[in-house]
Amino acid sequence: MDEFDRIAAFFAPLAGEPGLGLKDDAAVLTPPPGRQLVLTVDQMLEGVHFLTGDDPATIARKLLRRNLSDLAAMGAVPSGYLLTTALPPSLPEGWLAGFAAGLAKDQREFAIALWGGDSSSSRTDIAITATLIGHVAPGQALRRNGAKAGDEIWVTGTIGDAALGLEARRGLRADPTGFLTRRSLLPEPRVGLSLAGIVNAAIDISDGLIQDLGHICRESGLSAVVQAGLVPLSAEAAAHGPDVLELRLTGGDDYELILAVPPGQANALRAACAEIKITRIGVFKAGEAVELHGDNNARLNLASSGWKHF
């Protein structure tokens, strides 16, 4: 099966209207009236973002969800995506079928469609990239630079599950229920929250809570104080005890949201996030960088702030 046969068999059935059936050189997109487009791109590489032998459907779904999380952090409504694949010639067609099935599953779950892309061969490893396109009301995109001194720091969900789950997958940690492993393989992007007018700044947690919070601090010209004991844990993460504090706060891959919320907006935030867990973990203040405080408000120092590629 050559490149064009693969596109026709596995990807054309996923195409939405702007993709023109994947039969032309480019997609043709008409933005929703009175909306601004929001675009984000993420890649996943075999051996870096997923393990050799991982289920292809799960890889596909995580690729979409990583990007969907970026749109969620911007307060955008997702619409469609572009897909680029570089695959070794030896990869069986069954892998492609599974990959396409994963895309189809999350297309249905998140109401998005494939609009186009590119495919090529690679020498050995799998490399895949998705560009997600969404939209927001003009001027309503959530930015990293909008936090104010006195804003409370809130996070969605629980923090650290994915990092512990990756260690479990590598045989380094117990995961008797499989919960941590599932959190590592399949994050839950927090799309669909109506946060405009409630939240001053936002970011998703891809590289670790401390590092990503630091991005808001840098762009907003502020410091942040985080109370380690307030950071929400799942029961499965808590079972590993306090010794994994640094891993939980810096391991990344959570794809939860960090939100800068004015104190008077706490109830509005709870209403907007009624279907998910949200937790206040600290406050923004004048200064620079992120401070982590433990018991008795003692300052804690971490060896690493989070994941870095270079």
Each residue's pLDDT expressed in tens, for the chain with a length of 310 residues: 788 888 999 999 999 999 999 999 999 999 999 999 999 999 999 988 888 889 999 999 999 999 999 999 999 999 999 999 999 998 999 999 999 999 999 999 999 999 999 999 998 899 999 999 999 999 999 999 999 999 999 999 999 999 999 999 999 999 999 999 999 999 999 999 999 999 999 999 999 999 999 999 999 999 999 999 999 999 999 999 999 999 999 999 999 999 999 999 999 999 999 999 999 999 999 998 899 999 888 889 876 554 444 3
The predicted model scores a pTM of 0.93
| Assigned token pair, 6 | 């693969």
Q: What is the pLDDT of residue 47?
A: 83
- CA torsion sign, 52 to 162 to 277 to 218? negative
| Assigned token pair, 233 | 């844990």
Domains of the chain are 3-136 (3.30.1330.10), 152-300 (3.90.650.10)
Sheet holding 36-45, edge to edge: 36-45, 127-136, 77-87, 113-121
- CA torsion sign, 164 to 96 to 42 to 76? negative
Kindly write down the DSSP assignment for every residue of 237-262, as one continuous string: HHTT-GGGHHHHHHS-----EEEEE-
Q: What is the pLDDT of residue 303?
A: 64
Burial 153-178 (b: 16+ CB within 10 A, else e): bbbbbbbbbbbbbbbbbeeebebeee
* C-alpha span between 6 and 228 (Å, rounded): 49
φ, ψ (nearest 5 deg) of residue 299? -75, 130
CB 204 within 8 A of CB 306: no
Distances (CA, A) of 25 to 1, 19, 117, 118: 21, 10, 9, 10
Q: What is the pLDDT of residue 297?
A: 81
Beta strands at 299-300 and 257-261: parallel, antiparallel or unpaired: unpaired
Q: What is the pLDDT of residue 14?
A: 95
Q: What is the pLDDT of residue 307?
A: 44
Q: Which residues contact 47 (CB under 8 A, 6 or more apart)?
A: 125
- CA torsion sign, 302 to 208 to 153 to 266? negative
Type of residue numbered 240: H
